[in-house]
Amino acid sequence: MDNKSKCFKDLFVWQKMHQIVLEIYKMTKDFPKTEIFGITNQIRRSSVSVAANIVEGYSKKSKIDKNRFFNIAQGSLEETHYFLILIQDLNYANTNELIIKIDEVGKMLKGYINAINNSK
């Protein structure tokens, strides 16, 4: 973990994911009204879950707790990735750039988990 961070907002992984969440909200605001309780709600929920679990994991003291929340964030990230593929396949939006950003967050999360596990 970044020992210089004073709060979760200092974490690059959270900053990047927060920007993705904002992009997802913007992208989905014009989706068909029939998707309000479907894809729109689901991708918003899963993307927010990634950012929220990063925040919660950051605040935990033990390696086990930190790992658990970062692992939950990874699961929600994969769920978000799937919804981006589905949105593309349904021709609701071009999600290629968001998928690249999601992949970057995934690599960052793995890096944070490795740093946690390798710390004393």
pLDDT digits (tens, 9 = 90+) for 42-72: 999 999 999 999 999 999 999 999 999 999 9
Q: Nearest-CA neighbor of 12 among 46, 58, 62, 64?
A: 58
The tally of domains found in the chain comes to: 1
User: DSSP letter at 118?
Assistant: H
Assess if residue 92 is contained within a domain: yes
CA–CA separation, 12 and 2 (whole Å): 9
The pLDDT of residue 5: 73
Flag whether pLDDT at 4 surpasses 70: no
Residue 90 lies in domain = 18-118
The pLDDT of residue 119: 83
* 106-118 pLDDT, tens digit each: 999 999 999 988 8
Assess if residue 10 is contained within a domain: no
Report CA-CA distances (Å) from 77 to 4, 8, 21, 63, 118: 25, 18, 11, 21, 23
The pLDDT of residue 1: 46
Assess if residue 87 is contained within a domain: yes
Assess if residue 3 is contained within a domain: no
Kindly tell me the burial class for residue 85, based on how many C-beta atoms sit within 10 Å of its own C-beta (0-12, 13-18, 19 or more): exposed
Length of the chain: 120
Flag whether pLDDT at 83 surpasses 50: yes
CATH code: domain of residue 41: 1.20.1440.60
